[in-house]
Amino acid sequence: MSLFRTTKISNPKFELGGIRHLTCKSPSLHKRVDTSVFIPDEARSKSDVPVIVLLHGVYGSHFSWNMGAGAYQTLQHMIREEKIGSFILVTPSDGLWGDGSGYVDHGVENYQAWIGEELPQLIEQEIDEVSLKSRFYIGGLSMGGWGAFWIGLQYDRYKAISAHSAITHIDEMTQFVEEDWSLWQELNGITSIDALIAIKTELPPIRFDCGTSDMLINGNRDLHLYLTKQNIDHQYEELEGSHEWPYWERNVHKSFEFFNKIELR
C-alpha cells in the first residue's frame, strides 16, 4: 500500500533534458509537494541505481539546482566521461514554508520527515530504476547544506553527506529570512550541527566546502575545527568564491565525486 494518498508524475514522452517531475501529497506536510528527478541515459532501464538528493537553499524549490547550477548536466557529463558511475539525481522542494523551511519539524508540518522518511519511498515507488537496494546520498547548498547535515545525520537511509556553503547554526537563517525561528527552537532544542553531531554514536561519511568570500565561512571553519578536535574523519575545503550560483555550479562535481567513492566501497 502506498504511503501517499495521491501522486502525479510527468509523462516521459515530454521530458526536457531527461528531467521528470513528481507531485505527491505528503503525509508529513498535509499538502502537495514537488520533486524533480533526472535519470541519466546510462541509468535508464537499469535496476538498483543509487540516488543523489540535492537540497536547495532559501527562496528556491525543486528546480533550483538544475536551473541555477546545471547540476543534471554536470552529472550526465561525469557519467558519460566515466568519471563516476551511474546515479539518479533527485532535487525536491523543501515544502515552501516562508522564505525557507530549514528542513526541520515545524510541529503541524514536519519538513524533516518529508525529506528523511517520505522522499526515498516516493522515489522507490515512482522510478523503476530505484529499489530498496538503491543507496541514497544527500547534499545541499546554504539552507540545503544545513538540511543535508540535519537529515543525513538522523536518517540511516542516507549513506553520506556533502554540503556546499552550509548554514551550520540555525541563527544564521536570520540573515536570509523574515520569519521568526523561535518556535522551531522550542520544538527541537538543538540549534547547531556540531551539537547534533555530539549526541550521535555513529556518523556517515562527511564532506563540506565553503567559499573564502562567503558570509557563512566562519561557521564552516568552526564546524571543521570541532570535527578535527573530536577526531571525526571528514573532508573540508575552502575554495575561491562567495555565496552565489557560479560557486555552486563550479563545485557540485565535488559532491558527485565524493558520493561515487562511497558507492564504490
- Rounded CA-CA distance 7/1 in Å is 13
235 inside domain: yes
Task: Please state, as a whole number, how many other Cβ atoms lie within 10 Å of the Cβ of residue 81.
Answer: 8
CATH number at residue 85: 3.40.50.1820
Is residue 2, in this structure, part of any structural domain at all?
A: no
The Cα 22–Cα 211 span in angstroms is 33
Q: State the sign of the Cα–Cα–Cα–Cα dihedral 155, 159, 164, 168.
A: positive
- pLDDT digit string, tens, across residues 229-257: 999 999 999 999 999 999 999 999 999 99
- Calpha distance 215→139 (Å, rounded): 20
Rounded Cα distance, 124 and 199, in Å? 30
Q: What is the pLDDT of residue 181?
A: 76
Report pLDDT for 2.
87
Q: Which residues of 224-250 are buried (b: 16+ CB within 10 A; e: fewer)?
A: bebbeeeeeebebeebebebeeebbbb
Distance of CA 225 to the CA centre of its chain: 23
Within-domain flag for 213:
yes
Structural domains counted in the chain: 1
- Please report the pLDDT score of residue 221 as a whole number: 98
Q: How confident is the model at residue 7 (pLDDT cuts 50, 70, 90)?
A: very high
pLDDT tens digits, 173-231: 989 999 887 766 666 778 899 999 999 999 999 999 999 999 999 999 999 999 999 99
Predicted local distance difference test score (pLDDT) of residue 55: 98
Q: What pTM did the predictor assign?
A: 0.97
Q: Which residue has the cell 559532491?
A: 255
Q: Is residue 98 part of a domain?
A: yes
Query: Residue 102 and residue 170: Cα distance in Å, rounded?
Result: 8
What tens digit of pLDDT does each residue of 95-133 get? 999 999 999 998 899 999 999 999 999 999 999 999 999
Q: Is 1 a member of any domain?
A: no
In the chain, the N- to C-terminal Cα span, in Å, equals 33
Radius of gyration over alpha carbons of the chain, in Å? Answer: 17
103 part of a folded domain: yes
pLDDT band with cut points at 50, 70 and 90 for residue 151: very high
Q: Is residue 61 assigned to a domain? A: yes
Q: Which domain holds residue 145?
A: 7-263
Give mean pLDDT, residues 40-64: 96
